[in-house]
Structure 1
């Protein structure tokens, strides 16, 4: 049975909370009794979500933040004495070009957001997580961090780096009161992920999910994150891989066309 978070560990910071998995996770954690702090670059989105959660009787605060801005991240971290949970969700993919013709700026942006963003928040908040006596770092990676596929090298490289960051951090802080959880979703259909990847081309974005009866939803992933976070303190979900039933691997998907 899941237990309510202790007073010392009930603050949960969620990055990339303006949409998709981040917003869904913030809702789920709020329902589980956490005081959620919503961060993202789009202030209007997280402010609207904070208002929604507050009106539903939950505790939620919006804090506009670019996870790649280390000075801003350090200033943000200074607002807390302790926190209980950090969900590193901010990230995303850009482009689907082969290595030979990929845009280096896309690679740079993906690395800075997915990897350095996770590093920035984790470094800045790790002392606060440890101070709670019962902290949890969640890294929302991807099945892309476990195996590659054509046209995905830039995103795959970034997610491999995130996977290694989580795995190494777990080794380095063993014995401290902080768990490191990694959630690696496969095909998830959200409003923005594929659309952003293909620079707003809705036709290309739609083809990603074409014929797939039931891809994962943001709420499916949020449910898994919340389940992992709310396990007893001594239980560490090192790595959870979740895919829709129609997806056997990154390169094999059943499509009903």
Structure 2
């Protein structure tokens, strides 16, 4: 459980900063809160995905682009029902529609068409966000204070979209264990290897953990090796091509 919370903090923290920094000084950030009318029996795992699909459809209707920068985190209300907090970064003074109301677009002939609400499952709230990263991390801290076991079975508790290749690479590196981070740049393609450790999908290099569990479960560990640490003093993010070229 604790490892899931730690992964949430790392992933959402890096992603939200990258999404914010990818926009212009004139970008506007909006917060949307999606709440269910009833209890968790009304929840379905595809509801949040369908909302995000509708958000991309709206963005395409307004801008011609389906790429939307967003990040979200799930939270348990005091009554024990899941709801979602979403931050959207938009350019050009756009304002997203409230999720529980129909929204309009124009067809090829210029006629107005009405689309159904993006969130037909209950209530929504929409506010401007002036500190979007802090807003998201506030709710991440609340997840840590509550039991993740209270979420409906199979529920995702965070996500993001619209990251650049650089943003995805940085988030991937942050989520690796320390023994991989110490031997990899953000551009490497390490992934979990069968039988343990991480393998570079491009070179086949295998990195094994310095520790192994003792006995059953993963509650205690013992050092079984001392692997090399090849990381450069300037850090892995300086290995990005655009940063190298600027040096």
| TM-score (ref. length: structure 1) | 0.25
Q: Which has the larger radius of gyration?
A: 2
More strand by proportion, 1 or 2?
A: 2
More helix by proportion, 1 or 2?
A: 1
| TM-score (ref. length: structure 2) | 0.26
